[in-house]
Each structure stands twice: as C-alpha cells, then as structure tokens.
Structure 1
Amino acid sequence: MKQFKFFTNFDKEESWLNDMASQGYRFTKKTLFGYEFEPGKRENTVIKMDYRIFKHQEDFEDYCALFEDSGWEHRSGTKSSGYQYFYKADEHGSEEIFSDVHSKAGRYKRLSEMWATLACVFIPILAELISTGSIDPGVLVNPKSLYYTPGLWQLNGMTFWRAFLFETPFALGRGFIWLFLVCMIVMYLYFAMKAGKQYRKSKQE
C-alpha cells in the first residue's frame, strides 16, 4: 500500500508512522512522493528518524551499524537520501536513537541547510536567465506581447477565440515558465526557515 504525504516536522512524521503500525501497516520504504507499507499484524512499534547525507558508502554502513549495536534496525534510506528511518528491533535497546537534545535537534539544522542549498542552486539560474534576456518580467504588465499570431487582437468572434485558445498554452510557456523557478526558490526558503525554527525550538526542549 502506498500513502502520499509530506512532512516538515520529524516528530509528527514519526508519530504518523507509528500510528500506521498500530493499525497493522508495516512501513517498508520512503519514496520520493510518499511511503510504502505492507499489511501485517498490529504493532506497538517505535520508529525514529534522522537526517544525514554521506559522501561514501562505507561511512553510511558504519552509521547504520552504530545504530544496530544500540538495538535499532535501519528500515529505509540511502547514503544520499538524507532521510533515515530506524525501527526498534531490540525491546531492551535504548528508547532514543540520539544521545542528547543537541544531537536530536541537529537533524533539523541539517535539513534546513539542505533546503537552503537547493534554493541557492536556483537563484543563479534565475539571475542568468534575466541577465541574458531569456526572461522578460515585463510580460506581467503586457501579456499580449507573448502572442505572435499576426493581427490576433483585431480578430472578432469565433475566429479570435480559436486563434487565442490555440496559442495561449504556447504563450504561457514562453512567458511564465520562469515563475516555476521563483516558486521553487520561495518554497525551499520557506522549508529552510521552518526547519531552522524547529531546530531552535528543539534545542530548548
């Protein structure tokens, strides 16, 4: 079974995954747009999360082994996925995967840095498109300039509407595709701010 959800708060995500397990859905994998579960018996399980990216596979394997020694089984995540999910496999193991408050809060700091980095990747691309004239913000004031059909605005009736509706998708693509970049930058910065706020809050708990 697949579930499509998005979280910016690790505690809420952990709570949801554990609630799914209590309903008989065993979490098996995190995908790009959601989660995969397999039906099973109801479990009062404990799933915890971390956020880490590794340059080398060996470092990632050592990281997983460290948690396994504490009774936590790595359930989902790769060395480059960032999101790491752990399942409490040993009932006598530690109750937390973090040794202290600062370690637990650090995952939000790393997440915030990731979102901020993604935003910074798009900013120079947008600036380059504007500087080379590939993007013309002036079309927001004069959207008619995006239509290339000769004499379009002098046409009447159905002749006008056929020509207008035919060209509109192309006009939108030519003039406003760059707004996608703007939306991505704003969204990533928003997520970075939310993670940063949660980082500061977690340090005080």
Structure 2
Amino acid sequence: MRKYRYFGALLDTQEKWLNKMASNGYKFIRVEKLLYEFEKCQPNSYVYKIDFVASKSKSKSEDYKSFLEGLGYKVFYKNINLNYSVGKIRVRPWAEKGGRVATNMGGTFNKELLIVEKKADGKPFELHTDLEDKISYAKTIRNSWLTLFALCIFIFALQFIDKPEISLGIIVALIIAILLLFPISLYQRQVIKYTNEKRTNE
C-alpha cells in the first residue's frame, strides 16, 4: 500500500502517523520524498521513532545510522525539504562542525531525518534516554527553528526599511515568524523540563 504525505519538520505528527499505521497492521517498508510504502503485518507488531539528524556531518550521520542498525533497528533516511533540483547547497549555522553546509551531491541534504523501526516487544523505545542527550537534542531542533525565525525577522526588517509601509511581503514574513514561535516554544519547554530534571537528580 502506498500513501503520499508531506510532514516537513512536524516530527511528532509524522511519528504518530507511522505508529497509527503500524497499530492498524501496516509495516513501513520504503520511503521517498512524498511516498510512504507499507505492507500488511500483524497489528501493533512495530514501533517507530523519528530522529532529527540534520545537524550531523555526513560521516556522523552514517555512523549513527549504522549504530542503530547494530542495535537491531531498521533505519531509513527521510527528507524534511521538498527539493527535486540538482546541486543544491544549504547552510545550517546551528549545526555541529562538519554539518553546517549540506549538499545533495553525496551530502546530507534531504537526509535530515531518520525513521527508526523496532519490533514491538513491550519494552520502552527511546532513542535519547540520557538527560544531557535529551537537552542537547531539544536545543538542536529549537535552534534550527530559531534560525528560520531570525531569517523571517531579517526579511521583515529589510522589507520595512526598503518600504516603510504594510506590504504583502511584510505581512507574509511576520505571519511565518509568528507561526515559528510555536515549535520554538515547544522545544524550549523541553529544554527547560530536562534541565530541571537534571538539576533535581544532581
């Protein structure tokens, strides 16, 4: 069975959808930019997690994927972007060294996510269990959204300075910036939560 979906950076939504499909008896077997392919299986046989790896360099991303596969998980790369052109370069100032420039010519462009599959065995399935790791992971995703927010504010400022009156460009940039505050606040709350837990445990 084939399904066509685009979740972008809505990691939790994508993860919940995959797990709902699994609970209804559909095992995930293949992915492309918009395509998710499934085969029939026993309901609730598999569990899925989405992991954000856009901040990693190509070698670290591949090492991490191999590490997860070594634990017995099945792992697929998945894109956040919708990009069908060749030779694109994306700058990620929030990423770790080695992952700040991504290309689709043997790089990490359009491989921003990992879909991780585990056979359901009743045991908890977490990819980030250490509090320090959870804090770092939440900060990385928060910072990616913050970068987009800063870009929108920059565009808003340029538009307003160039033409100090309300225009369509200013309205669009402002609306996008406001919408970006939601994921920023979501991951900031996670940072605060895990930081407080860490302090409590110290």
**CA offset digits 1:18-53 (Å, max 9, x no partner):** 221121233333747xx6242422342121222222
**CA offset digits 1:85-112 (Å, max 9, x no partner):** 2112697x99433342332353322111
Instruction: Please give the alpha-carbon distance, in whole angstroms, between the structure 1 residues aligned to 2:56 and 2:190.
Output: 26
* Structure 2: segments with no counterpart, 5+ residues: 80-107
Report the counterpart of residue 31 of structure 2 in structure 1: 29
Amino acid in structure 2 at the alignment position of 1:36: Y
User: What's the TM-score once normalised by structure 2's chain length?
Assistant: 0.64
- Cα distance, 1:186 vs. partner? 1.0
Task: Decide whether the 8 Å contact of 2:73 with 2:116 is kept in 1.
Answer: yes
In structure 2, which of residues 143, 151, 161 is the aligned counterpart of residue 121 of structure 1?
Answer: 151
> Higher strand fraction: Structure 1 or Structure 2?
2
Task: Decide whether the 8 Å contact of 1:126 with 1:181 is kept in 2.
Answer: yes
Report the counterpart of residue 63 of structure 2 in structure 1: 62
Instruction: Please give the alpha-carbon distance, in whole angstroms, between the structure 1 residues aligned to 2:176 and 2:40.
Output: 38
User: What's the TM-score once normalised by structure 1's chain length?
Assistant: 0.64
Amino acid in structure 2 at the alignment position of 1:119: F
Report the counterpart of residue 190 of structure 1 in structure 2: 182
- Cα distance, 1:184 vs. partner? 0.9
* Structure 1: segments with no counterpart, 5+ residues: 138-174
In structure 2, which of residues 153, 165, 170 is the aligned counterpart of residue 136 of structure 1?
Answer: 165
Instruction: Please give the alpha-carbon distance, in whole angstroms, between the structure 2 residues aligned to 1:189 and 1:124.
Output: 15
Q: Name the CA shift for 1:124/1:5 in 2 (closer, same or farther; >3 Å).
A: closer
Amino acid in structure 2 at the alignment position of 1:21: A
Report the secondary structure of 2:31's partner residue: strand
* Count of paired positions: 163
Report the counterpart of residue 101 of structure 2 in structure 1: none
The percentage of aligned residue pairs carrying the same residue is 21
**CA offset digits 1:137-165 (Å, max 9, x no partner):** 3xxxxxxxxxxxxxxxxxxxxxxxxxxxx
Task: Decide whether the 8 Å contact of 1:73 with 1:89 is kept in 2.
Answer: no
Q: Name the CA shift for 1:200/1:13 in 2 (closer, same or farther; >3 Å).
A: farther
Instruction: Please give the alpha-carbon distance, in whole angstroms, between the structure 1 residues aligned to 2:151 and 2:117.
Output: 34
Q: Name the CA shift for 1:70/1:39 in 2 (closer, same or farther; >3 Å).
A: closer
> Higher helix fraction: Structure 1 or Structure 2?
1
